[in-house]
């Protein structure tokens, strides 16, 4: 088992009808009682959550900032930063999925930053966020785990860029996880959520045997639960028990717990972000495109864990090669069962050069040896993308 350190200060309030707690929690965090209420494109207006929140917060001065798009855009978020500064808020409430929550994480850091916050996302020498506003979240889409972690992904369409940021300053102070929000999710977003949580788990599991039996079993528990509930939930999004299980799985998949003491391989996410940056393909779908091809490419390096995964999660029999191969096939079929196609050309007419372009980007960023064994080289990145077209 590898050494590790973990802290997760986010308070989780799980379940339905809990919003009475919202003003109580914010009061502790916002002495000025001036808060920015950030949300996305309007789903919370359609399902009534917007009105409910305003009712609960009637003793606060609320400054609204709607319109944060999926794959939150730097330019939009900077408008929110300027609004928050002009209105001198001391707290931000993020209501939405990963995009709104990530966007708010960025805004809380950019609020205090003196230079161009894009430099922080580019990791220019010495550019970091040193301070942040406090913020809390009300999650409306179980998928990313952003409600319980300190990472964020910010996009800039005009540059075809999607960049990550994070650090201890960016844990939400609290997150409300109410599974009833799932009932209004379009099937596409629900399937995305299942696949994103599934892939967060696999990226911290499909490496080599870690000797951390607890963490490996916990990963397998999440995978098995998602396989069990996923297809039924997309058919009945109003089923509270299924929705609650997805929500709790998605949070656990990326709240820091699964990475304790184990090797990880986030290459599928790294390549996937490029596909979103270039083609706007939904985040989870990029993972479904890349993962099966990456597992095939890294078959020998990941074989022991593929076999463990195949036997324990998919209950497969056979020799090691058969089980490992079938485990990859089962994974791809699971994505397809959720109506998530697994090739780039299913979504767009890709440039024949895309594999080379992504390889070149990785090279420019110095990402030349990836994966748990540093065995995924630039040539592999190019092959994986080419095979995924
Ligand atoms: O904007 P609105 O109108 O709210 O609609 C949203 C959006 O169009 C809709 N939606 C959300 N909740 C809903 C709802 N529609 C009906 N009913 C509800 N209850 O769903 C659409 C997608 O929302 P979005 O927030 O973009 O989805 P998701 O949660 O999948 O977030 C994706 C973003 O998170 C990043 C991704 O890269 C992407 O930018 N990620 C963040 C991570 C993190 N912070 O830890 C890790 C992930 O790997 C991921 O990279
Ligand atoms: Zn993800």
**Cβ 370 vs Cβ 265: under 8 Å:** yes
pLDDT in tens, 89-115: 999 999 999 999 999 999 999 999 999
* Radius of gyration, alpha carbons of the chain: 21
Whether 97 lines ligand 1, by a CB cut-off of 6 Å, is yes
Q: Tokens 């929140």, residue?
A: 53
Whether 144 lines ligand 1, by a CB cut-off of 6 Å, is yes
Quote the percentage of the chain above a pLDDT of 70.
100
Domains in the chain with CATH codes: 11-177 (3.40.50.1970), 185-388 (1.20.1090.10)
Whether 246 lines ligand 1, by a CB cut-off of 6 Å, is no
pLDDT in tens, 204-251: 999 999 999 999 999 999 999 999 999 999 999 999 999 999 999 999
Closest ligand to 193 CA? 1
**What residues have their beta carbon closer than 5 A to ion ligand 2?**
196
Residue 369 is predicted with a pLDDT of 98
Whether 102 lines ligand 1, by a CB cut-off of 6 Å, is yes
pLDDT in tens, 146-199: 999 999 999 999 999 999 999 999 999 999 999 999 999 999 999 999 999 999
Whether 230 lines ligand 1, by a CB cut-off of 6 Å, is no
Q: If you take atom 49 of ligand 1, which residue's CA is the nearest one?
A: 144
Measure the CA–CA gap between 313 and 387, rounded to whole angstroms. 26
Whether 41 lines ligand 1, by a CB cut-off of 6 Å, is yes
H-helix or E-strand spanning residue 362: helix 354-365
Closest ligand to 185 CA? 1
For residue 39, which atom of ligand 1 is closest to its CA? 4
Tell me what the pLDDT averaged over the chain comes to.
Answer: 97
**Cβ 33 vs Cβ 60: under 8 Å:** yes
Residue 126 is predicted with a pLDDT of 87
CB atoms within 10 A of CB 16: 12
Residue 136 is predicted with a pLDDT of 98
In sequence order, the 6+-apart residues with CB closer than 8 A to the CB of 99 are 40, 68, 69, 70, 71, 72
Closest ligand to 102 CA? 1
pLDDT in tens, 132-151: 999 999 999 999 999 999 99
**Cβ 256 vs Cβ 149: under 8 Å:** yes
Residue 190 is predicted with a pLDDT of 98
pLDDT in tens, 193-215: 999 999 999 999 999 999 999 99
In the reported structure, the alpha carbon of residue 141 is separated from the centroid of ligand 1 by a whole-number distance in angstroms of 6
Average pLDDT over residues 325-347: 98
Measure the CA–CA gap between 236 and 199, rounded to whole angstroms. 22
Whether 313 lines ligand 1, by a CB cut-off of 6 Å, is no
Measure the CA–CA gap between 246 and 333, rounded to whole angstroms. 19
Measure the CA–CA gap between 166 and 347, rounded to whole angstroms. 30
Please list the alpha-helical segments (H only) found in the chain.
Answer: 21-29, 43-46, 49-56, 74-86, 98-110, 117-121, 187-203, 213-235, 240-253, 267-279, 283-297, 299-312, 320-337, 354-365, 378-388
């Amino acid at each position: 088992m590898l050494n590790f350190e973990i802290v997760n200060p986010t308070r989780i309030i799980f379940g339905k009808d809990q919003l009475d707690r919202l003003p109580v929690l914010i009061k502790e965090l916002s002495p000025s009682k001036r808060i920015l209420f950030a949300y996305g494109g309007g789903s919370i207006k359609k399902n009534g959550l917007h009105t409910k929140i305003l009712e609960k917060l009637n003793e606060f001065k609320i400054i609204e900032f709607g319109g944060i798009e999926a794959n939150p855009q730097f330019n939009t978020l900077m408008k929110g930063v300027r609004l928050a500064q002009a209105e001198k808020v001391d707290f931000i409430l993020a209501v939405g999925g990963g995009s709104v929550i990530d966007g708010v994480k960025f805004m809380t850091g950019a609020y205090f930053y003196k230079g161009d916050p894009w430099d922080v996302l580019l990791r220019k020498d010495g550019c970091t966020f040193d301070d942040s506003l406090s913020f809390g979240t009300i999650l409306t889409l179980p998928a990313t785990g952003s409600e319980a972690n300190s990472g964020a992904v910010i996009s800039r369409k005009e540059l075809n860029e999607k960049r990550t940021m994070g650090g201890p300053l960016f844990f939400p102070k609290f997150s409300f996880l109410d599974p009833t929000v799932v009932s209004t999710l379009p099937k596409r977003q629900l399937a995305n959520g299942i696949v994103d949580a599934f892939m967060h788990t696999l990226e911290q599991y499909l490496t080599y045997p870690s000797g951390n039996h607890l963490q490996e079993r916990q990963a397998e528990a999440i995978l098995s639960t998602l396989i069990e509930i996923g297809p039924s939930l997309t058919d009945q999004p109003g089923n509270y028990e299924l929705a609650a299980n997805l929500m709790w799985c998605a949070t656990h998949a990326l709240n820091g717990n699964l990475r304790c003491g184990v090797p990880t391989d986030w290459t599928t996410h790294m390549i996937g972000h490029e596909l979103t940056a270039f083609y706007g393909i939904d985040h989870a779908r990029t993972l479904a495109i890349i993962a099966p091809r990456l597992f095939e490419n890294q078959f020998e390096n990941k074989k022991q864990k593929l076999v463990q995964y195949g036997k324990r999660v998919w209950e497969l029999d056979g020799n090691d090669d058969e089980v490992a191969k079938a485990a990859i096939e089962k994974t791809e079929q699971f994505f397809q069962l959720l109506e998530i196609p697994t090739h780039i050309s299913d979504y767009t007419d890709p440039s024949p050069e895309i594999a080379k372009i992504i390889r070149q980007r990785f090279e420019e960023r110095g990402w030349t040896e990836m994966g748990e064994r540093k065995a995924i080289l630039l040539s592999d990145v190019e092959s994986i993308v080419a095979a995924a077209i």
